[in-house]
A and B are shown apart, each in its own frame.
Chain A
């Protein structure tokens, strides 16, 4: 891993996750957040970072929607969010959790692929 990768890999993964979750959510299908988290996690390669990227990425991706709703329809949004603030929180927690676990899975998948790629080098050649 290069210094650049180490320094900016997390941020890059986070940005990708935020963008992906925001774009994929346009479809209205929440399960696409698994893809967003997974890709983000895959980019950062380490489980802890994958967890963090997925959690924060999907959470921010969805929060952007709530912000957009607030900007586009402030009256309706204020009624909606004030009537059911717990549900807003729950939405973010669930989205974040899904993103975090997907991010972890993505990171572990990435690690798995790396270790698969490295393994042949360790084995002595039989030919």
Chain B
């Protein structure tokens, strides 16, 4: 009996051991309780009816063949209620993830790895900013917007309740082992603030300070303030100003005793930010988008066409959620708008209604400043004008998931009068950002959604403060327009000397330099839409923007910024718009998906020249021949793009790394435009390798870089040059937020053409940002409009709509942006769900 007892005990212990050890996997993988039952609700049911409490009348949701919901309601309350429900059906996990990111609550469900991310977002205070915006809506007694937000939240919460009841929560919740909390209006505004931060929350002042401390007067040669190739959207005198004075720049640099310490601290701050923001980093790296609008005089139909492709993070599922929202009853049509929004936002962000259309590109305006102070010995007070002021401290709790449950950590957020303190290595900078103010973008976009004409659209522009956007516009009356729209602070007590140098560095906070005025003081801000650069029905017949300079510094009295995108895209768009007239949908598709590389066109002749009289190996001869015969298209099946892209990176590194090393500078390399300028100017200063005794020339560097390129590609891709196709090294790599751990949630890795300065950009070798939405709105017939997203509509990884648009997008194809006014008019109906009032 002892033998049997011992055997039983051992077997029982083995059961307990296996159960305990593999519990997380068994939770995840058992057929009904784990992820697999997700198969049963991967697709939404069709022809069903869902009863909802609080609904006023029936609402029809027709899904088209790509799963895009067309929502038909009789009143706005019902529409936003059901829109909340529908968004949650498709994207609840993304919504929850985004709000947690914005509010600094990810570590609670993911764990220690995201604690610093939470700390970062708590420090910059997106949650507080969202709260201030909500209080502004309440304070202004804007019951309509408060209601829109509340109805949307109510719809999300009904969906959460139903999903919990039926066990149909998105599988990511099962993977992470938590359930979503109820959605609130505050969450929607927090997601909005996050988007504002992603597009404007740059620490360029600190980056520039670091470079300036390393290179002094030469910094502008690397990070040019005066762009020699500058193409501004507005051409002419808006509110012209005199050129700024020049003073001795060296006096503005830090004393040597402080320099090393401050630069070191900045390096650590930038590193902290980069790590903390890694979930949104591809957005930050992209900083690009295109939009253009053409009036009827240039089109085949005599009607305007509006195109837009915002370049954002490309991920699985996409950052955008597509929808068509209709409110109509016996009294008429009150809303009929189609386009995309961010999961968690109840209104269409980019799209068109029955009267007008709009598109966005990021202005890239300077709406974030840093301030340095003289600090008291204990670090609790800072000097401001003529007195000490106390640091304002607030305590927050960050929850962190661990093996032993959720731990609560108290953190102190420190603020000065200017904003939150960003601190590393005992070096403190206070940060001031437009998005911290009670901005009202949700209301602005609601107004765009229901606008009937340009005046009503402009009313919406007044509410749109951050992120400043190049908004292009067209309407059924044939008008077109553009506004570099946002609310820009007018800095006080600041010098414009030396090309606005003081604006580009952290301000001296103790001396109240670069102060901003109160939010309510209209004189303290450049207010849209009248004061911002804009064009209405331009003589040229079109407006095109690609994050380029909105207006020349000399033509505008206010400071907007200086870190504009390179001009290659806007130049190419303008050329194609001029060459391709009359313009139709086909031409617009061609422009939007163009992968012609302007930098290659400019630089390849210099490679050919530099190699002309030199002794070359067969490989080098073959490489130059390929470049010479190239049509400058970054086609994935060609070899020349691989050679050129590798060469350009080599040239930048070979040119600048020695000076960076000598100056002790670690930071981003100069732009392609900068290297083009140096090549064209034949600058010896930077091409010379300071680590050798010889004087290297431009052509030496070009040739050496080609040599290095061929060697590297041989090492990586083999001796056969025909196999060095762009597709061999350049891939679309779209990850799910949990894709690092569970790669099957990611989209398949696919070869892709294009590169960073193309109209259709695909930057880097593992492409994770680019055109996140393409729309071509045809005012001849709105039903002919076209669109596409890089992935699919539904966030469920087992759904056919998870990635059913990916291949179309990759191949430069589009789907119809249908605009049926009623469910009966819907042609490609995949299914209908009717939402009806309960009881």
Contact = CB atoms under 8 A, between A and B. Distances in A.
A111 B18 contact: no
Interface stretch (B8-16, B242-250, B461-469, B471-479): B8-16
B26 A98 contact: yes
Interface in A20-61: 25-31, 33-34, 47
B5 interface: yes
A94 B36 contact: no
A65 interface: yes
A101 B15 contact: yes
Contacts of A116: 1
A80 to B, nearest CB: 4
Contacts of B39: 69, 72-73, 76-77, 80
Given A69-B40, A84-B744, A76 B799 contact: yes
A80 B744 CA distance: 9
Interface stretch (B27-35, B139-147, B378-386, B773-781): B27-35
B161 to A, nearest CB: 18
Interface in B785-802: 797-800, 802
Residues of B in contact with A, size category: 35 or more
Nearest to A111: B4
Contacts of A18: none
Given A79-B42, A94-B25, A101 B14 contact: yes
A108 B13 CA distance: 13
Contact of A73 (B12, B14, B32, B40): B40
A109 interface: yes
A83 interface: yes
Contacts of A108: 4, 7-8, 11
B32 A26 contact: yes
A81 to B, nearest CB: 9
A30 to B, nearest CB: 4
A91 interface: yes
A97 B561 CA distance: 63
B18 A101 contact: yes
B43 interface: yes
Contacts of B25: 90, 94
A88 B799 CA distance: 18
Interface in A63-110: 65-66, 69, 72-73, 75-77, 79-80, 83-84, 87-88, 90-91, 94-95, 97-98, 101-102, 104-105, 108-109
A94 B29 contact: yes
Contacts of A79: 42, 797-800, 802
A29 to B, nearest CB: 6
B300 to A, nearest CB: 40
Contacts of A27: 32-33
A69 B13 CA distance: 33
A69 to B, nearest CB: 4
B229 interface: no
B8 to A, nearest CB: 4
A112 interface: yes
Given A91-B29, A91-B34, A76 B18 contact: no
A109 B799 CA distance: 46
A62 B31 CA distance: 6
A119 interface: yes
Given A79-B802, A80-B798, A98-B26, A105 B8 contact: yes
Contacts of B11: 47, 101, 104-105, 108
A73 B4 contact: no
B798 A112 contact: no
B38 interface: yes
B711 interface: no
A26 B11 CA distance: 26
B492 interface: no
A127 interface: no
Given A79-B802, A98-B19, A111-B4, A66 B36 contact: yes
Contacts of A25: 30-33
A104 to B, nearest CB: 4
A75 B798 CA distance: 8
A84 B26 CA distance: 15
Contact of A102 (B15, B27, B37): B15
B268 to A, nearest CB: 40
Contact of A30 (B1, B12, B27): B27
Contact of A91 (B5, B31, B802): B31
A77 B800 CA distance: 10
Contacts of B18: 97-98, 101
Contacts of B14: 101, 104-105
Contacts of A102: 15
A76 B30 CA distance: 17
Given A28-B37, A104-B11, A65 B32 contact: yes
A33 B33 CA distance: 12
Given A79-B800, A98-B19, A29 B33 contact: yes
B1 A112 contact: yes
A2 interface: no
B26 A30 contact: yes
A115 interface: yes
Contact of B4 (A26, A66, A72, A115): A115
B837 interface: no
A96 to B, nearest CB: 11
Nearest to B171: A80
Contacts of B43: 73, 75-76
Contacts of B8: 105, 108-109, 111-112
B800 A75 contact: yes
Interface in B330-355: none
A73 B15 contact: no
A27 B32 CA distance: 7
A34 B26 CA distance: 12
B40 A72 contact: yes
Contacts of B167: 28
A105 B31 contact: no
Nearest to B797: A83
Nearest to B11: A105
A83 B4 CA distance: 45
A30 B40 contact: no
Contacts of B38: 76, 80
B38 to A, nearest CB: 7
Contacts of A91: 29-31, 34, 36
A47 B7 contact: yes
Contacts of A95: 26, 30
A80 B35 CA distance: 9
Nearest to B5: A112
Contacts of B388: none
A27 to B, nearest CB: 7
Contacts of B32: 25-28, 65
A80 B36 CA distance: 8
B1 A119 contact: yes
A98 B15 contact: yes
B22 interface: yes
B744 A83 contact: yes
Interface in B480-516: none
B406 to A, nearest CB: 23
A113 to B, nearest CB: 9
A108 B2 CA distance: 12
B830 to A, nearest CB: 13
A31 B37 CA distance: 17
B192 to A, nearest CB: 33
B515 to A, nearest CB: 55
A112 B32 CA distance: 34
A76 to B, nearest CB: 3
B31 A65 contact: yes
A91 B744 CA distance: 15
Contacts of B42: 73, 75-76, 79-80
Contacts of A109: 8
22 contacts: A25-B30, A65-B31, A65-B32, A69-B31, A69-B39, A69-B40, A73-B40, A73-B43, A75-B43, A76-B40, A76-B43, A83-B744, A90-B29, A91-B29, A91-B31, A98-B18, A98-B19, A101-B18, A108-B7, A108-B8, A115-B4, A116-B1
